[in-house]
Amino acid sequence: MTIEKEIIVNKDIESAWNVIGTQFADAYKWASPVNHSEGSGAGINGSTCSQRGCATTMGKLKEKILQYSSENHLISWQAVQGMPSMVKFAKNTWTLTSIEQNKTKVNMKMDIEVGGLMGFLMQPMMKMQMSSMGNTLTSDFKYYLEKGQPSPKKVKAMRKYKG
C-alpha cells in the first residue's frame, strides 16, 4: 500500500531540509508519534547518521537511511526493526521542492507491504491508521517550521510520555 501526503510550508527549502534531512535523528523534537529518537552509524552522502532509533507510540523502531540527497532535498528510510510481523517492508520518503523564496512543497510517501492472512485482514485498518499518522506528521512538521516550536499536539504527546 502507498500513502502520500503533500503540504505547502511557508518556509524556505533550506530550513525545511535542515529539519527533515540534516536533523533526521531529532524527529522527537517535532513529530507527535515520536517520543525519543537518536542517530547512529556513519553518515551517508552527507547525512549526520545512517540509522535512527525511535521510541514511538507504536513501540521501538530502528530505521535505516536508504537515500539522502541534500542537493535534491530527498531523504528515504526503511523501518528495519520494530514493525509488526505482518509488515514485510515499510519505507518513508520525503521530497522537498522550492515553490518560492519562502514556500516549500513537502511530499511524504509511505510504501508499506504486508503479508500473510493477518496482513490481508488488517490492511484496510492499517491504511487508515498510517494515513492518519501521515496527516499528523506533515501538520506537525509544518507547525514546527512555521512557528519555531512543537505543535500543540506534540506538546500534549510530550506531557503524556513524561507522565
- DSSP character string of 114-159: E-HHHHHHHHHHHHHHHHHHHHHHHHHHHHHHHHSS--HHHHHHHH
List Cα–Cα distances, 40 to 21, 25, 50, in angstroms.
14, 8, 6
Local structure of residue 84 (DSSP, 8 states): -
Question: pLDDT of 47-65, one tens digit each?
Answer: 999 999 999 988 899 999 9
Question: pLDDT of 121-133, one tens digit each?
Answer: 999 999 999 999 9
Q: What pTM was computed for the model?
A: 0.94
Question: pLDDT of 11-49, one tens digit each?
Answer: 999 999 999 999 999 999 999 999 999 999 999 899 999
Domains recognised in the chain with CATH numbers: 2-148 (3.30.530.20)
Query: Mean pLDDT throughout 111-122?
Result: 93
Q: Copy the grid coordinates of residue 132.
A: 492518519
